[in-house]
Structure 1
């Protein structure tokens, strides 16, 4: 199984407001950057969209090491929130559509997560943030 690194970030001006997301896939020295945005969204939706689009870009099952500055994303996976939300029928859960899409996109892969502090000089996180902010600014 191929090992892929996926660095993600989301940005929003206002919450809700115009937003953008950035994702960087790295595999054996090759790098692919993805980004997009929306006119009226939230930061958490952009964080989730970055993860979703990064996973959807993979063409075969992979071991995916996700690097993100989103505690929301990390904790949902690492603290068991997702399993609990599913068990309770997704009641009172924000962004259900995206969480379900992320789970579906993640199904063929093995995911691991690493949280990094945002805006703290982590080069890949800074680049993902740049991509997200550029897209956010297009939707202002």
Structure 2
């Protein structure tokens, strides 16, 4: 697992994943969205939760995208969440060593999702990229639209 903050060039052997989470109120109804691109094909995914937080939806976007992969792959995951990127590339090692406690000895928030993301990442070679949110990055903007659709579909009873 590697961390990076730059945008990468397309590579047909790598799955590019773009994720975003959204929340209407925090906490409140939330949604997540993901785009997966590989060898010229693209898949979009989204979902929602009636009572959640923005950070949980950011985590769910990455989890659902990685869990949807059918085999072990090399992937570049692009997120506008420093919480997700820093959590998985910097903080998680110490959280695990300390029994899922922070440096202040408090329980890690969203531990259920961090453990799930840790498991999803373990089967892949994931390179993490941070992108500035709401700054005109086309795939990030589309992932945001999907996350918002996840909220609206969930509130309207539409299954993903």
Number of the residue aligned with 2:139: 124
1:77 offset after TM fit, Å?
2.5
Structure 2 unmatched runs, 5+: 1-12, 102-106, 156-160
1:136 offset after TM fit, Å?
1.5
Partner Cα distance (2:44, 2:56) in 1 = 19
Say if 1:7 and 1:66, in contact at 8 Å, map to a contact too.
yes
TM-score, structure 2 as length reference: 0.83
1:67 offset after TM fit, Å?
0.3
Does residue 115 (structure 1) correspond to residue 126 (structure 2)? The answer is: no
Structure 1 unmatched runs, 5+: none
Deviations 1:3-23 (A, max 9, x none): 100100000011110000001
Number of the residue aligned with 1:81: 91
Instruction: Please show how residues 1-140 of structure 1 align to structure 2 within 5 Å.
Output: 2-78=13-89, 80-91=90-101, 92-140=107-155
Partner Cα distance (1:74, 1:105) in 2 = 14
Structure 1 stretches of 4+ moved >2 Å? 137-140
1:139 offset after TM fit, Å?
4.2
Greater Rg by CA: 2
Deviations 1:38-78 (A, max 9, x none): 10000000000000000011011111100000000111123
1:137 offset after TM fit, Å?
2.7
Provide the aligned C-alpha RMSD in A: 1.3
TM-score, structure 1 as length reference: 0.95
Instruction: Tell me the matched-pair count.
Output: 139
